[in-house]
Chain A
Amino acid sequence: MLGAVIVAIFGSLFAGTQMSDDAAWTPKLALDLEGGTQLILTAVTENNEPITSETITQAINVIRQRVDSSGVAEAEITSQGGRNIVVSLPGNPSEETIALVSKSAQMTFRPVLAIGAPQATSADGTTDGATAPPSDETAAPADGSTDGAPEATDGAAEEATPPSDTPSKPAPDSPSDVEYYVTPAVEAAFDSLDCTNPDNLIGGEVADPDKALATCDEDGTAKYLLGPVEIKGSDVSSATSGLRTTSTGATTNEWVVDIKFNSEGTKLFRETTTRLQGLAATPPQNQFAMVLDGLVISAPSLDAGVIISNGEAQISGTFNRESAATLANQLNFGALPLTFDLQSQEQISATLGTEQLQKGLIAGAIGLLLVVIYSLFQYRALGMVTVASLLIAGVVTYGVIAVLSWTQGYRLSLPGVAGLIVAIGITADSFIVYFERIRDELRDGRSLAPAVDRGWDRARRTILASDAVNFLAAVVLYFLAVGGVRGFAFTLGLTTLIDLLVVFFFTHPLMTLLARTRFFASGHRFSGLDPRRLGAAATRYVGRGKVVPGAASAPDADTLETPGSRVPVAAGVRSGAATMTIAERRAAERAAAQASGSEQTTRDEPEPGRGRDKPDGTTPPDASGERGSDTTEGTEH
């Protein structure tokens, strides 16, 4: 299973290196480790209006949204001087990426014609618009969107030719005229639009202002079919956020955004609201959308009966202080249409410095070596299992990162490397938890095979639970954070999954196999699973009517304390007799007998022929051989 995964990863990587130029055996590195390209953009306004630092901040946010959504890992975006924005992109960005970054961001107001769930609708579901005659619209099934709602009933010519971009009417009745604007081509574009795909959240498209537009909202949680541009962003004179004040002047607890239009905007907005009010019966057509950089930032509906004629609108809803401020900032930014002039484009070296990377790798190698030494020291031969598992995990991680950097444009940054280093600890911990559980079972007196089985049952729960928490952290941070945090979250999540993969499909099967080998099963002193060393200690019953003497009396345990010195050490430990098992009590009696020099007291053992009672503490096999009893019966430890 794991072998198949590894073969698949490296096979595809090999195929990739043979067939395309993008794939390579080494993962691509991010800006901090490899360097990249630095673009200096200067913000220019149309009519030389002053640029405030808030505007630049908004511009940086818009650019970051574009860069993050386009999959380029971890760009660094800063302001420089008053009106420059420095964008550093890793590697050699393509012409399209540079064009995307330097595109201007425009805000427009458009009426909403339809809202749909973010997923693409299948082609079958679109029949109501593309093939059914418009006059049948009332009967058409509404496939999650309301595009079938009749807005005007004037008969239109039947359309039989699928997706044509010609409007069915010579002229629109109004910007909300579904009949006119929703051509089959637009309809098809809307249906196939998938807002869960990050590629569609890049923004930056300049849409034809006179045509309908199918687009996503900026979070990718809904898609919109919008009418033509009615009001331009430059007609907004200001936007502010604050708590709503009632007509009596009292302040409520509700966060709102207030928009003020200039005179042109006031006139246009009055017309728009008047028309939208007439459409209150057919939601969502009484909504208008604010589109920034090609994406819907807000699409409020009009309160019933309200016609805004003074050019002062108020948006309320589920705002908190921050989201209200964000929307106000976005509106202000949109009100000041910026274009970006590309000043310079230059190669830059790794921001971290090559020395840091080199020394970091050396340090990582030293650290790994120490881990190997420590686990060999602690777990003896079992340490080799840890090392092998870590190696496998490392190989898989390397392969996955190389494949992802080829297919997804993923780049390894220093925070990513940090995630990997922490992963050493977390991955090794899974093995340590597992081994300790096996040892616990051995201490309980099980032989190795059942100990591995039971230890695995218990360790598996722990490993799953703790890895689930880690994975949760990675997923949440990946989807909610930006920039370097994402790179870190990605590697953390990846290594957590690989950890599970390796433990389940390598370490555990390997342990099960090893448990069958003589070296481990007999508890060789270098196996790390020596029951005597693990103090499977006290005399224990091993089945077949046999009792095995405890660690303390085992001959190779001469480094341990002698039986007599094994007194409980901690406070709160009650000495002896009351907690003894039958076997322990017998062993104690034996020891007492041994001390008194009598060899014949062993006669009262339940299994006198077994030789376990050999008073000088020799190992059972010798004893049974000496007595000449049935040697086909091996002994269990």
Chain B
Amino acid sequence: MAVGFAQWGNDLYTGRRSYDIVGRRRTWYLISAVIVLLSAVLLIKPGLNPGIEFRGGSQFVVSGVSATDQTLAADVVSEVAPEEAPRVTTVGGSALRIQTLALDEERLAEAQQALAEAFDVPVENVASSFVGPSWGKDVTQKALNGLLVFLALVTVVMTLYFRNWRMAAAALIALFHDLVITVGIYAAVGWEVTPATVIGFLTILGYSIYDTVVVFDKVRENTADVLEQTRYTYAEKANLAVNQTLVRSINTSVVALLPVSAILFIGAFLLGAGTLRDIALALFIGMAVGTFSSIFLATPAEVTLREREPKIVEHTAKVLAARTAAAEGSPEGAPGSPAVVHVGQLRPGAHLGSAAQPKRRKSGKK
């Protein structure tokens, strides 16, 4: 299979095999738009389920216990309040702190009673109180501020690096797409949002931009002198770039996803609810979507934007005109269908090192 994969990579590079990703961009836009819309709907209903770090909740402190069995405490409380995974912490040597979502009087008393029975202590030893959010509005606010500054800066940096604001715009579109879908799917799964989840979302942000920059750099390389030649159009060159980075994209995403899926698998099936599971899910969806968008959304969007530039429009028209003329001129070319063009990597000659130079025959010989 490795041979097949390598051969496939070669064909993609030379253009012998080529997927018309940029050409079918309307299809991808449609798919993306539908998924983004779906995600947006999922965000409204059922919506995200913020954990107690964001909303605050009820807290029990069981003191004077002989054995601080965290699992037992978690089980007891989740029987009363199954909606939320309780957070259990040992306090000192003989007390347990259990936090769960805000409970009403009745369930509060029920949970207190159950805890007292489970740990074999008098009910008075189980104190309950309300705890505020540890991840308050101000923390969110500061994270959002950071985000906005980052987006502004990254736009500037990308515009400077690629010398074109359209690449930055396309990268931001892809980023927005990734974030909305990731958060939407997370909402659909219905796991609670913990600070770990938010960190996961922030990671996606960095990863999505990163992935897009790598693909765009190849596009930049391929299209650097697109205007100086008349063989291919901008869109064709960009499509070749996506095809050529396809192997890289697949390898990278597999390598990045393997550890994340290991954690997701163990977190979800062996551990149940918890920080690991939350962060792994957020990362898994985000990275997968990020890879998709860097291939199928970012570059096509960039091409769409670039094709509005007068220079590119002019160039495309010129190339197509030349192609039509050639097709009509040559007897074997399929008449009337100039669109069939082999887009491949041109192989310029280059210096192959001094070892490749002809050697002078040794004069002493023969």
**Complex-state Cα separation, A35 to B247, whole angstroms:** 44
Distance to closest chain A CB from B241 (angstroms): 11
Q: Of the 9-residue stretches A126-134, A195-203, A228-236, A572-580, which lies at the interface with chain B?
A: A572-580
Q: Of the 9-residue stretches B15-23, B36-44, B106-114, B311-319, which lies at the interface with chain A?
A: B15-23
**Structural contact, B287 and A425, CB atoms closer than 8 A:** yes
Q: Of the 9-residue stretches A2-10, A176-184, A287-295, A413-421, which lies at the interface with chain B?
A: A413-421
**Structural contact, A542 and B352, CB atoms closer than 8 A:** yes
Cβ 8 A contact of B142, one of A378, A454, A482: A482
Cβ 8 A contact of B353, one of A362, A443, A449: A449
CB contacts (< 8 Å) of B221 on chain A: these are: 458
**Structural contact, B213 and A414, CB atoms closer than 8 A:** no
CB contacts (< 8 Å) of A472 on chain B: these are: 150, 153-154, 157
**Complex-state Cα separation, A596 to B252, whole angstroms:** 47
**Structural contact, B14 and A443, CB atoms closer than 8 A:** yes
Cβ 8 A contact of B276, one of A322, A356, A432, A479: A356
Distance to closest chain A CB from B359 (angstroms): 6
**Complex-state Cα separation, A446 to B345, whole angstroms:** 14
Asked if A60 is at the interface of the complex by the 8 Å CB criterion, the answer is yes
**Complex-state Cα separation, A473 to B166, whole angstroms:** 20
Interface residues of B in 105-163 (CB under 8 A from A): 129-136, 138-139, 141-143, 145-147, 149-150, 153-154, 157-158, 161
Interface residues of B in 1-20 (CB under 8 A from A): 2-3, 5-7, 9-11, 13-20
CB contacts (< 8 Å) of A570 on chain B: these are: 16-19
Asked if B300 is at the interface of the complex by the 8 Å CB criterion, the answer is no
**Structural contact, B206 and A473, CB atoms closer than 8 A:** yes
Q: Mark A333-374, 1 if CB is under 8 A from B, else 0.
A: 000000000000011111111011001101110111011001
Chain B's closest residue to A77 (CB) is: B134
Chain B's closest residue to A439 (CB) is: B9
**Complex-state Cα separation, A476 to B152, whole angstroms:** 11
**Structural contact, B5 and A378, CB atoms closer than 8 A:** yes
Q: Mark B224-242, 1 if CB is under 8 A from A, else 0.
A: 0000000000000000000
**Structural contact, B255 and A432, CB atoms closer than 8 A:** yes
**Complex-state Cα separation, A366 to B280, whole angstroms:** 14
Asked if A97 is at the interface of the complex by the 8 Å CB criterion, the answer is no
**Structural contact, A353 and B70, CB atoms closer than 8 A:** yes
Asked if A422 is at the interface of the complex by the 8 Å CB criterion, the answer is yes
Asked if A481 is at the interface of the complex by the 8 Å CB criterion, the answer is yes
Interface residues of B in 267-325 (CB under 8 A from A): 267, 270-271, 274-276, 279, 283, 287
Asked if A636 is at the interface of the complex by the 8 Å CB criterion, the answer is yes
Distance to closest chain A CB from B182 (angstroms): 14
Q: Mark B329-344, 1 if CB is under 8 A from A, else 0.
A: 0000000000111111
**Structural contact, A446 and B352, CB atoms closer than 8 A:** yes
Distance to closest chain B CB from A441 (angstroms): 9
**Structural contact, B271 and A465, CB atoms closer than 8 A:** no
**Complex-state Cα separation, A425 to B208, whole angstroms:** 12
**Structural contact, A462 and B214, CB atoms closer than 8 A:** yes
Cβ 8 A contact of B274, one of A38, A356, A371: A356
Q: Of the 9-residue stretches B75-83, B184-192, B197-205, which lies at the interface with chain A?
A: B197-205
Asked if A429 is at the interface of the complex by the 8 Å CB criterion, the answer is yes
Asked if A300 is at the interface of the complex by the 8 Å CB criterion, the answer is no
Interface residues on A, range: 35 or more
CB contacts (< 8 Å) of A157 on chain B: these are: none
Given known contacts A472-B157, A476-B149, is B259 in contact with A368 (CB within 8 Å)? yes
**Structural contact, B131 and A86, CB atoms closer than 8 A:** yes
Interface residues of A in 216-270 (CB under 8 A from B): none
Given known contacts A57-B138, A482-B139, is B91 in contact with A348 (CB within 8 Å)? yes
Asked if B100 is at the interface of the complex by the 8 Å CB criterion, the answer is no
Cβ 8 A contact of A476, one of B150, B195, B248, B345: B150
**Complex-state Cα separation, A417 to B16, whole angstroms:** 43
Distance to closest chain A CB from B263 (angstroms): 4
Given known contacts A362-B266, A537-B14, is B342 in contact with A573 (CB within 8 Å)? yes
**Complex-state Cα separation, A440 to B350, whole angstroms:** 14
Chain B's closest residue to A557 (CB) is: B3
**Structural contact, A473 and B154, CB atoms closer than 8 A:** yes
**Structural contact, B91 and A428, CB atoms closer than 8 A:** no
CB contacts (< 8 Å) of B33 on chain A: these are: none
**Structural contact, A370 and B352, CB atoms closer than 8 A:** no
Chain A's closest residue to B3 (CB) is: A559
**Complex-state Cα separation, A418 to B281, whole angstroms:** 12
Interface residues of A in 395-424 (CB under 8 A from B): 414-415, 418-419, 421-422, 424
**Complex-state Cα separation, A323 to B177, whole angstroms:** 30
Asked if B262 is at the interface of the complex by the 8 Å CB criterion, the answer is yes
**Complex-state Cα separation, A57 to B137, whole angstroms:** 9
Asked if A168 is at the interface of the complex by the 8 Å CB criterion, the answer is no
Given known contacts A346-B92, A370-B262, A636-B355, is B131 in contact with A79 (CB within 8 Å)? yes
**Structural contact, A544 and B16, CB atoms closer than 8 A:** no
**Structural contact, A476 and B214, CB atoms closer than 8 A:** no
Interface residues of A in 436-467 (CB under 8 A from B): 436, 439-440, 443-447, 449-450, 454, 458, 461-462, 465-466
Asked if A81 is at the interface of the complex by the 8 Å CB criterion, the answer is yes
**Complex-state Cα separation, A560 to B16, whole angstroms:** 15
**Structural contact, B259 and A421, CB atoms closer than 8 A:** yes
**Complex-state Cα separation, A415 to B274, whole angstroms:** 13
Asked if B196 is at the interface of the complex by the 8 Å CB criterion, the answer is yes
**Structural contact, B352 and A422, CB atoms closer than 8 A:** no
Asked if A305 is at the interface of the complex by the 8 Å CB criterion, the answer is no
**Complex-state Cα separation, A78 to B132, whole angstroms:** 5
CB contacts (< 8 Å) of B153 on chain A: these are: 472, 476
Cβ 8 A contact of A419, one of B134, B203, B247: B203
Q: Of the 9-residue stretches A141-149, A483-491, A504-512, which lies at the interface with chain B?
A: A483-491
**Structural contact, A465 and B134, CB atoms closer than 8 A:** no
Cβ 8 A contact of B279, one of A86, A415, A450, A476: A415
**Structural contact, B347 and A359, CB atoms closer than 8 A:** no
**Structural contact, B259 and A367, CB atoms closer than 8 A:** yes
Asked if A571 is at the interface of the complex by the 8 Å CB criterion, the answer is yes
CB contacts (< 8 Å) of B361 on chain A: these are: 630
Q: Mark A474-502, 1 if CB is under 8 A from B, else 0.
A: 10110111111100100010000000000
CB contacts (< 8 Å) of A482 on chain B: these are: 138-139, 142-143
Given known contacts A367-B259, A415-B195, A480-B149, is B207 in contact with A422 (CB within 8 Å)? yes
Given contacts A429-B248, A469-B157, A636-B352, 19 further A-B contacts (CB under 8 A): A60-B132, A355-B271, A356-B276, A362-B266, A366-B266, A414-B196, A422-B203, A422-B260, A426-B210, A429-B214, A429-B255, A469-B154, A469-B158, A469-B213, A477-B150, A480-B145, A535-B13, A574-B341, A633-B359
9 contacts between A and B (CB under 8 A): A81-B129, A349-B89, A371-B255, A421-B259, A449-B353, A454-B350, A466-B210, A477-B143, A480-B145
**B contact residues vs A (CB 8 Å cutoff):** 2-3, 5-7, 9-11, 13-20, 56, 59, 68, 70, 87-93, 95, 97, 129-136, 138-139, 141-143, 145-147, 149-150, 153-154, 157-158, 161, 195-196, 198-200, 202-203, 205-207, 209-210, 213-214, 217-218, 221, 244-245, 247-248, 251-263, 265-267, 270-271, 274-276, 279, 283, 287, 339-345, 347, 349-353, 355-359, 361
- Please list the 10 inter-chain residue pairs (A to B) with the smallest Cβ-Cβ separation, ordered nearest first: A425-B256, A543-B356, A367-B259, A79-B132, A535-B10, A480-B146, A367-B262, A349-B90, A363-B266, A370-B258
